[in-house]
Amino acid sequence: KLLPCDNVDSDGGRSGSGGLSAIFPSHQLSLTKSGFIEPLLPPMRHHKLCWDFFKHIMSLDYLIHDFEAMCHNIKATSRRVLIDMGASLVFHDDSKKKKKRKKYREPPIVTLMNLYEKFGFQFDHIYAFEVDTMNSRQVYEDLLPEKYFASYHWINAGVTNVKGHKMNPLHSILTKFDEDDFIVIKLDIDTPSIELPLAHQLVEGGPDGIYHRMVDQFYFEHHVHLGELAESWERDKTMEGTVKDSLEMFHSLRERGIPAHFWP
């Protein structure tokens, strides 16, 4: 089993190459407590979706992670935690057109977990909240890779934005860990009335600003009025607010110490 940073050069890789800042000489990356991350730019997705929408709409290739910096921050005793709000693993691959073939596309969250694992960040606890009723057998037999069984907590219930409620993971799960732990949060429940208050609670910081100190990475699909994604979001009636609102929220999160990314 890989330990965190086993796949990262012990010298950090910066002495000769200059690290991420050398790869991106424009100096447009954002610097956070977890290292460099991508700049905040519309369309809040991979830019190539403007030319080939369906090929790039779920791509994570626009995200930048500074695993070197994360390796310097993590400790041997740190627990690695993923809190996934909106954890459906069902992503069909043309299953409606080809009803006889039941093939599933790899969910973006699994792609993300595989990326972390590549650099030795294997999650000890994965708390997966999903409001849509799903057959647990399908989740574990058909959708979830076996390597995550030991750490996966499937919670087939919706979250709430009520402060102090046990179904608010910021209260009932996040605060049960320590500042030395490595904590990743993903928020994508397609319900602005719940997810926006949760995002704002992260901006506010929680009791004594603890959220700002504890969250190491945050991924959020903010459904705003954005032309490039309007066709997808209008269908679900989830658009609320403007691109300016989104940029200001994500900037506020980063300014307060939470490395925030747009999620596809």
Vertex 116: Cα angle to 178 and 76 (nearest 5): 40
| 138, 102 contact by CB (below 8 A) | no
Q: Region 36-65: what's the mean pLDDT?
A: 88
Give the model confidence (pLDDT) of 52-110 as tens digits. Answer: 888 888 899 999 999 999 999 999 999 999 999 999 998 754 444 444 444 557 899 99
Residue 120 has pLDDT above 70, yes or no: yes
State both tokens at 38: 């991508």
Q: Which two tokens stand for residue 131?
A: 């409001």
Q: Which residue has the higher pLDDT, 22 or 42?
A: 42
Q: Confidence band (pLDDT; 50, 70, 90) for 118?
A: very high
Name the least confident of 41-50, 133-142, 210-219.
41-50
Locus of tokens 């949760």: 198
Residue 211 near residue 170, CB atoms below 8 Å: yes
Q: Is the pLDDT of residue 233 over 70?
A: no
* Range with the poorest average pLDDT among 68-72, 159-163, 192-196, 223-227: 223-227
Give the mean pLDDT of 6-21: 56
43 close to 50: Cβ distance less than 8 angstroms: yes
Q: Which of 82-96, 127-141, 156-170, 214-228 has the least mean pLDDT?
A: 82-96
φ, ψ at 125 (rounded to 5°): -140, 130
For 161-184, the pLDDT digits (tens) are: 999 999 999 999 999 999 999 999
In contact, 174 and 83? CB cutoff 8 Å: yes
Q: Per the omega criterion (within 30 degrees of 0), is the bond before 43 cis?
A: yes
Rounded distance, CA 150 to CA 134, Å? Answer: 20
Question: What's the count of helices (H) and strands (E) in the chain, helices before strands?
Answer: 11, 8
